[in-house]
Amino acid sequence: MPVITCIDDLKRLYRRRVPRMFYDYAESGSWTEQTLRDNVADFAEIRLRQKIAVDMTGRSTASAMIGEPVAMPVALAPVGLTGMQNADGEIKAARAAERFGVPFTLSTMSICSIEDVAAHVSKPFWFQIYALNDDDFNARIIGRAKAAGCSALVITVDLQILGQRHRDLKNGLSAPPKFTIPTMLNLATKWAWGLEMLRTKRRFFGNIVGHVEGVSDPSSLSSWTAEKFDPALNWDKIGKLMDLWGGKVILKGILDVEDAEKAASLGADAIVVSNHGGRQLDGALSSIRMLPGIAAAVGGRTEVWMDGGIRSGQDVLKAVALGAKGVMIGRAFVYGLGAMGEAGVTKALQLIHKELDTSMALCGETGLARVGRHNVLVPKGFLDGYC
């Protein structure tokens, strides 16, 4: 086993181990993938201010997200098809997150069901829902999440229709994979992955199959999206989902100050500044560019988090410095899961935590509550947007 020092090391192992269609699913963005690239590249434009001769003893990365104590202000984002990256992947990721002390969010489009995950953890996790055009399904799946003891509902608000992801279309993405000649040839080189999949019965969308009628192809994300996602989504419908849940709510997919104002006025406990990992509107600005303005506008009324492009603890530190109370990671933990299973998710969290702790110390801070704009150097005009 090679020495793993960063998230990119896990990514290289992940690419070798996981079938191409699922690697491409995690790695793809929409259209030209410009926003996908900007999410990562824009973090590199922000520099950290080093400070010396500061007592670094007793420092801590501990924080809280919507009132829940966390070892660091990082939550595992909802990622569809996680159970196809590694057999029973959602269960493995949830267990790793619980042991480390950070929240795990289960996607509606997971392979392991809500009930499956709940049976394998001892603490509440979060559940993510899309705004669907099926009120009965919405009510039933929210009821299932309540029965499983989920402590917060994450409503994804930026996926009324699916952004065109060229790689997924070319690969014929489905769960389980359809046996075309190109797929079979690629799967033949991923025998370790295949053996694990043979040992599990969880190969379909566990929250959907057997729980919903009227979907012609439940193996296909694109078919489900076309038939069940609600293109008529509006703020009233989001409010009704929040009322139906009746507990803590996080609205994920905010990239505009006006939308953030509306989300805060609805009483969201947190919002996530997000462009869906560059997978929806290609050409939108990166999440980190949009974060400071949104945090300044609504940070006093709701917790402002962000996701998109985070690959290190330094990225977490930069996000906190620019106004985030927390972040969500998707690809970073998926790389670990695909590379090494549950141990890989733990490794990804360890890497991010170590980088966060060390970088915070070298910036002269002993706790995240003191981190702010004084800790970073931002290029002139970086946060001004475009005319």
Q: Which two tokens stand for residue 192?
A: 């370790």
Residue 281 lies in a domain: yes
Please report whether residue 96 resides in a domain: yes
Could you tell me if residue 383 is inside a domain? no
Nearest of 80, 79, 68 to residue 269 by alpha carbon: 68
Percentages helix, strand, coil for the chain (3-state, rounded to 5) are: 45, 15, 40
What average pLDDT score do residues 108-133 get?
A: 95
Look at residue 384 and tell me if it is in a domain. Answer: no
Domain extent for 289: 7-377
Confidence of residue 316 (pLDDT cuts 50, 70, 90): very high
Q: Tell whether omega for the bond before 176 is within 30 degrees of 0, i.e. cis.
A: yes
Q: Is residue 115 part of a domain?
A: yes
Q: What tens digit of pLDDT does each residue of 63-111 get?
A: 999 999 999 999 999 999 999 999 999 999 999 999 999 999 999 999 9
Catalytic residue, from 166, 211, 276, 374: name it: 276
pLDDT of residue 160: 84
Residue 211: pLDDT band (50, 70, 90) is: confident
The CATH number of the domain where 123 resides is what?
3.20.20.70
Higher pLDDT, 150 or 218: 150
Residue 27 lies in a domain: yes
Asked if the model's pLDDT at residue 295 lies above 90, the reply is yes
**Into how many domains does the chain fold?**
1
pLDDT (mean) for 284-289: 97
- The three-class DSSP label of residue 21 is helix
For residue 214, what pLDDT is reported? 62
Please choose, from the candidates 30, 241, 45, the residue with its C-alpha nearest in 3D space to the C-alpha of residue 129.
241
C-alpha separations of 168 from 25, 87, 165, 173, 334 in Å = 6, 20, 6, 5, 17
Residues of the chain with pLDDT > 70, as a percent, come to: 93
Give catalytic status of residue 276 as yes or no: yes
The 10s digit of each residue's pLDDT in 319-376 is 999 999 999 999 999 999 999 999 999 999 999 999 999 999 999 999 999 999 999 9
**358-376 as b/e: b if 16+ CB within 10 A:** ebbebbbbeebeebeeebb
Contact between 212 and 206 under an 8 Å Cβ cutoff? The reply is no
Please write the tens of the pLDDT for every residue from 248-270: 999 999 999 999 999 999 999 99
pTM of the predicted protein model: 0.94
pLDDT of residue 189: 84
210 occurs within a structural domain: yes
Question: Where is 182: in which H helix or E strand?
Answer: helix 181-187
Inside any domain, residue 2: no
pLDDT of 51: 97
- Give the mean model confidence (pLDDT) for residues 151-179: 80
